[in-house]
A and B are shown apart, each in its own frame.
Chain A
Amino acid sequence: MNRTRSGERGFTLIELMVSATVLLLAMAGLLSLLVHNARINKTQRINMELQSSARNSLAMVVQKLRSAGWDPLNTGLGTVVLDPDDLDADDADGVDDIEILADLTGDGDVDDPNEQVRIVRSGDRLVWRRSPAEPYIVLAAGITNDADGDGVAEPLFTPDRLPDPSRITVRITAESPIPNPTSGRPDRYTVTTDVVLRSAL
């Protein structure tokens, strides 16, 4: 019994320190893995939201553009007005501002909601209003439209010809607010489509 007890004597200080150090190292490794994992998780979630908001914005813009120029009473309504305020006509920014006209109620004017939709990229936000009487609403944030990362935004709307465009290329680039932990740079996601203005064909 005594022998056995003497054989089961406690750990030495050195043994304890070594085991504590090993445990600490293992925990540190695990923690950094966890932190890294959490960061990737967060980045992916943000990217997913970015992609989602870019795609949703594009879908909404496209849907409005398809009905541009609906003019059942043949009043001579146009389809779209690009850059209506001529705010950035001389900028490298291109056209980031569009007004889409459609007489959806068929009453001969475009004063009702959704009949004079204005879509504007303001800073890194995409905003719109459904009629001149209504306030602007934010459609999406993080829309920098700088796909190549050169600090200059690409145009949101590119017409095939001016005046009276028959098709418009819509290009939306969303940028993540935090850098990707792997690359160290913000992630960018671009969606683009050509919309034929069916009333102008």
Chain B
Amino acid sequence: MTESRRNERGSALIMAVFVLALVASMGMALLFLGQLEVRMSKTGLQEKKSFFLAEAGVEDGRGSLYDINKGEDFSDDLTTSAGPDGNHMVDPSAIRPVYDAAGNLTGFTGYGDDVPLTNTTAFGEGWYMVLLANDPLEQATPTLDQNHRVMMTGVGAGPDSSFEVVQAIVEKDEILPQIPPATILLLGPDPAFQSGSSNPKEYVGDDCNGLGGMPGLYVPVVGTVDTVVDEGIERPKNFMTGGLEGYDTVADVTDADALDAMGAGLGPLDPSWTDCAFLQQMVESIREVADVVCEPPAPCTPPPPSPSRVMMVDGDYTVGGDESGQGLLLVTGTLEMHGRASWRGLILVIGEGKFDRFGAGNGVISGSLVVADIAGPDDIYGTADDCSGGVEGFDTAAFDEKGGGNGDTVFCTDDIVPAIPIPPYKVVSFVQH
């Protein structure tokens, strides 16, 4: 009996051990697979981290380059980054991270004597560095930039020695076409121009009234496009362009011969100004870079003018009596300026295309003014019928000045150039190595 019991107990134990072993082996297999999965996921995560570190480097470099370059060509930046030998040694396959005994990054190797645009910088759980070189199209001239494009190499080093290199070609972007060659440019057919009814102000095509600007440059006071200038234009006697007054101060700014005859130094109008779809795109681009975007009836507070201001009003806007501003002002509705109000820079009234100036005063507009009605048959900008009315999307642009005073409306490149916004440098091409 005792022996039998012992035997029974033994078999139960064996069976229990067998079953346990089976279950345990299954569990172990699952655990192994799970661990493998965790390891793979971790590796994938580290790769992602180092990729985003490298990309963060490119973004940092893009911002730094914008700050130090200020929209000029990149030659001086390329000369600095090339180092003493004057050549860029960036080779994505040669760059390697260097770690100390504690596992902290001490720097990178494999880029010769190049001077990084952004030195090794700790960020989040890793580090990045950015190198600058001319874009591949201009590799033959490492430090001469003529196409406003450069290549940035972002190097990212994340946890557990993970490492990534990305490259981006960045380009200077132009939002506005070339400066329009007229003090007041009225785009579209049959432009309506009404000058002051009492002691009218002066309209001057001399660059900055002969004080500054480009010596000898003068432009038409009212620029039109393919329009017989006798119609719709009321010209007061105090129109001035260089030595010319009266009739010749109004010109078709697309007619190179007419401009030559007047001695305009800017050349004929950039065709983009007569492309309705381009203007729509331009309005949207300005919206993106504007310091302030107002949407009336919400109140509109102009941003501080330093260093320059870009202000967009998506609707009607009034520049009050004693107000003065500078920079780029874009209004898609009707722009009203009171007689004492002043503006230095570029005023774009593109949308409904109506500019009204009321009351007497000595306010000065110094720069250039462009008026275009591209709002379509409903005369509301931002609707589906924009660019579908009139001639090739343009209806009559209107400039109406009531009252008078001593102030001028003057073409002035010195005020226009600082008003042209320089958008962030654009990534035009990107690769992960």
B427 touching A199, Cβ below 8 Å: yes
B30 touching A41, Cβ below 8 Å: yes
Compute how far the CA of A113 lies from the CA of B75 in the bound complex, rounded to whole angstroms. Answer: 35
B428 touching A199, Cβ below 8 Å: yes
A34 touching B432, Cβ below 8 Å: no
Please indicate the chain B residues that have their CB under 8 angstroms from the CB of A73 in the complex.
136-137
Q: How far is the CB of A197 from chain B (nearest CB, A)?
A: 8
Q: How far is the CB of B142 from chain A (nearest CB, A)?
A: 15
Please indicate the chain B residues that have their CB under 8 angstroms from the CB of A104 in the complex.
431
Q: How far is the CB of A17 from chain B (nearest CB, A)?
A: 16
Residue of B whose beta carbon sits closest to that of A19: B8
A30 touching B19, Cβ below 8 Å: yes
Proximity bits, B419-433, A CB within 8 Å = 1, else 0 = 000000011111110
Asked if B63 lies at the interface with its beta carbon under 8 angstroms from chain A, I say no
Asked if A28 lies at the interface with its beta carbon under 8 angstroms from chain B, I say no
Asked if B296 lies at the interface with its beta carbon under 8 angstroms from chain A, I say no
A70 touching B429, Cβ below 8 Å: yes
A41 touching B1, Cβ below 8 Å: no
B431 touching A70, Cβ below 8 Å: yes
Which of A8, A71, A74 has the most chain B CB within a 10 Å cutoff? A74
Compute how far the CA of A72 lies from the CA of B41 in the bound complex, rounded to whole angstroms. Answer: 33
Q: How far is the CB of A25 from chain B (nearest CB, A)?
A: 14
Compute how far the CA of A66 lies from the CA of B19 in the bound complex, rounded to whole angstroms. Answer: 51
Asked if A121 lies at the interface with its beta carbon under 8 angstroms from chain B, I say no
Asked if B125 lies at the interface with its beta carbon under 8 angstroms from chain A, I say no
Contact of A69 among B19, B26, B34, B429 (CB under 8 A): B429
A41 touching B29, Cβ below 8 Å: yes
**Known interface pairs A72-B169, A198-B427, A199-B427; A66-B432 also in contact (CB < 8 Å):** yes
Q: How far is the CB of A19 from chain B (nearest CB, A)?
A: 9
Compute how far the CA of A34 lies from the CA of B37 in the bound complex, rounded to whole angstroms. Answer: 25
Please indicate the chain A residues that have their CB under 8 angstroms from the CB of B23 in the complex.
34, 37
A8 touching B137, Cβ below 8 Å: no
Contact of A67 among B37, B427, B430 (CB under 8 A): B430
B430 touching A70, Cβ below 8 Å: yes
Proximity bits, A135-155, B CB within 8 Å = 1, else 0 = 000000000000000000000
Restricting to B399-433, which residues have a CB under 8 Å from any CB of A?
Answer: 426-432
Q: How far is the CB of B409 from chain A (nearest CB, A)?
A: 39
Restricting to B350-386, which residues have a CB under 8 Å from any CB of A?
Answer: none
Please indicate the chain B residues that have their CB under 8 angstroms from the CB of A69 in the complex.
429-430
Please indicate the chain B residues that have their CB under 8 angstroms from the CB of A70 in the complex.
429-431
Asked if A106 lies at the interface with its beta carbon under 8 angstroms from chain B, I say yes
Asked if B212 lies at the interface with its beta carbon under 8 angstroms from chain A, I say no
B37 touching A52, Cβ below 8 Å: yes
Proximity bits, A45-62, B CB within 8 Å = 1, else 0 = 100100110010001000
Please indicate the chain A residues that have their CB under 8 angstroms from the CB of B168 in the complex.
198
B430 touching A66, Cβ below 8 Å: yes
B430 touching A34, Cβ below 8 Å: no
Restricting to A1-35, which residues have a CB under 8 Å from any CB of B?
Answer: 8, 30, 34
Size of the chain B interface, CB-CB below 8 angstroms:
29
Restricting to B32-91, which residues have a CB under 8 Å from any CB of A?
Answer: 33-34, 37, 40-41, 44, 51
A102 touching B37, Cβ below 8 Å: no
Compute how far the CA of A67 lies from the CA of B169 in the bound complex, rounded to whole angstroms. Answer: 12
Asked if A178 lies at the interface with its beta carbon under 8 angstroms from chain B, I say no
B432 touching A63, Cβ below 8 Å: yes
Residue of B whose beta carbon sits closest to that of A63: B432
Please indicate the chain A residues that have their CB under 8 angstroms from the CB of B22 in the complex.
34
Restricting to B144-165, which residues have a CB under 8 Å from any CB of A?
Answer: 149, 151
Asked if B207 lies at the interface with its beta carbon under 8 angstroms from chain A, I say no
A52 touching B19, Cβ below 8 Å: no
**Known interface pairs A59-B44, A104-B431, A198-B168; A34-B19 also in contact (CB < 8 Å):** yes
B33 touching A45, Cβ below 8 Å: yes
B1 touching A74, Cβ below 8 Å: no
Please indicate the chain B residues that have their CB under 8 angstroms from the CB of A45 in the complex.
29-30, 33
Q: How far is the CB of B365 from chain A (nearest CB, A)?
A: 36
Please indicate the chain A residues that have their CB under 8 angstroms from the CB of B136 in the complex.
72-73, 106
Compute how far the CA of A102 lies from the CA of B428 in the bound complex, rounded to whole angstroms. Answer: 13
Asked if B252 lies at the interface with its beta carbon under 8 angstroms from chain A, I say no
Please indicate the chain B residues that have their CB under 8 angstroms from the CB of A48 in the complex.
33-34, 37
Interface residues of A (CB under 8 A from B): 8, 30, 34, 37-38, 41, 44-45, 48, 51-52, 55, 59, 63, 66-67, 69-74, 102, 104, 106, 198-199, 201
For the complex with contacts A71-B428, A72-B135, 13 further pairs of A-B residues with Cβ separation under 8 Å are A34-B19, A38-B26, A45-B29, A45-B30, A48-B34, A51-B37, A55-B44, A66-B432, A69-B429, A70-B430, A74-B135, A104-B431, A199-B428
The contact sample of 23 A-B pairs, CB cut-off 8 A, is: A34-B19, A37-B26, A41-B30, A44-B30, A45-B30, A45-B33, A48-B33, A48-B34, A48-B37, A51-B37, A52-B40, A59-B44, A66-B430, A69-B429, A70-B431, A72-B135, A72-B136, A74-B429, A104-B431, A198-B168, A198-B427, A198-B430, A199-B429
7 tightest Cβ-Cβ pairs between the two chains A and B? A198-B430, A72-B136, A70-B431, A67-B431, A41-B26, A199-B429, A66-B432
